[in-house]
Amino acid sequence: MTSTVVTGNGGVTANGRVAVVTGAGRGIGAATVLALAAEGWSVLAIDRAQDDPELPYGLATDVDLFGVVGEAAEVCGAAERVAVREADVRDLERLEEAVRDAERWWGGVDAAIACAGVIAGGAPQWEVPPERERTVLDVNLAGVLNLARAAVPALLRRPAPRSGRFLAVASAAATRGLPMLAAYCAAKAGVAGLIRALAVELGPTGVTANAVSPGSTATAILDESARLYGLGGAADFARQQPLGRLLEPGEIATVLAFLAGPGSSGMTGAILPVDGGLAL
């Protein structure tokens, strides 16, 4: 696929920190770009920005992605602090290029946040088409591995004492067995395991690894989940959470922004539930 970059003139980030965010076209990723921009970060927003032929629902578009970046530029009041790259998280080379771009434009990378995700299933695991199952695993787990491979070296290139952050979006599905969503559950459990391993591997470098584990959140993935289960709509999932409502993407993004900042300095290897009590 083609790769598109839009950037300003390498402006100085307001708080001195730089983030790359995947899955930035909509949902939790988009909300995270906005949350970071509001806190003074320079942000590179990354998304595939086109549909996948193996998935039966539409993904974020380039219009969505550029819309998020435009909104983030308004939030932070400086267009040069927000940039965009169209790239698939399954493409390691493109992710590495994106990270190098962020370093070149803004002087380094302080946080890498893996929000890209897809869902598919709707049948017992052995009946799901292998290509569709592979797409779920490759985006949701291999995509996070790829971002770590591309971004952790950049986080470590910051001079000591460092305060880098590698963050990912797991899911309540990492610990709950969800019927007809086996590959999704497996991928999210893998994300949780990866974060714990990275936390140990990064040890005293000053770079930490953490994740959030959302419950039912008002996103396109939840809409597709409702369709797969034959429900009337995503709102039907609200009753399974003690809060009695769906979460909003901004609620997840707020926690990711906290984890990206200095207040999380004592945390690593944590998988934080932001799930409306779903895991209780």
Q: DSSP letters of 118-179?
A: ----SS-GGGS-HHHHHHHHIIIIIHHHHHHHHHHHHHHHSPSSP--EEEEE--GGGTS--T
52 three-class SS: coil
Q: Is residue 280 part of a domain?
A: no
| Residue numbers of the domain that contains 16 | 5-274
The per-residue pLDDT for 2 is: 37
Return the ∠ at Cα 118 (arms to 88 and 259), rounded to 5°.
80
Which of 96, 102, 115, 143 lies closest to 30 in space, CA to CA? 115
Q: Is residue 279 part of a domain?
A: no
193 three-class SS: helix
Q: pLDDT tens, 218-254?
A: 999 999 999 999 999 999 999 999 999 999 999 999 9
For the chain, the distance separating the N- and C-terminal CA atoms, rounded to the nearest angstrom, is 42
Q: Which single residue is written with the structure tokens 């003139």?
A: 9
**How far apart, in whole angstroms, are the C-alpha atoms of residue 147 and residue 152?**
8
- In the predicted model, residues of the chain with pLDDT beneath 70 are 1-14
User: Which stretches of the chain are assigned E, i.e. beta strand?
Assistant: 5-6, 18-22, 42-47, 82-86, 111-114, 165-169, 208-214, 271-274
Q: Is residue 226 part of a domain?
A: yes
The per-residue pLDDT for 42 is: 97
Q: Is residue 74 part of a domain?
A: yes
Half-sphere exposure of 174 (CA within 13 A, CB side): 25
Q: Is 184 a catalytic residue?
A: yes
Q: Considering its fold, how many domains does the chain have in total? A: 1
Q: Is residue 191 part of a domain?
A: yes
The per-residue pLDDT for 78 is: 87
Q: pLDDT tens, 61-92?
A: 999 999 999 999 999 988 999 999 999 999 99
What CATH number corresponds to the domain at position 87?
3.40.50.720
Which of 214, 137, 230, 141 lies closest to 176 in space, CA to CA? 214
The per-residue pLDDT for 16 is: 87
Q: Is residue 169 part of a domain?
A: yes
Going edge to edge, which strands form the sheet with 271-274?
5-6, 82-86, 42-47, 18-22, 111-114, 165-169, 208-214, 271-274
The per-residue pLDDT for 11 is: 52
47 three-class SS: strand
- From the candidates 66, 105, 184, 237, give the one annotated as an active-site residue: 184
Question: Are residues 119 and 225 in contact, defined by beta-carbon separation less than 8 angstroms?
Answer: yes
Q: Is residue 172 part of a domain?
A: yes
Q: Is residue 12 part of a domain?
A: yes
pTM: predicted TM-score of the whole model, two decimal places: 0.95
**How far apart, in whole angstroms, are the C-alpha atoms of residue 270 and residue 266?**
10
The per-residue pLDDT for 13 is: 54
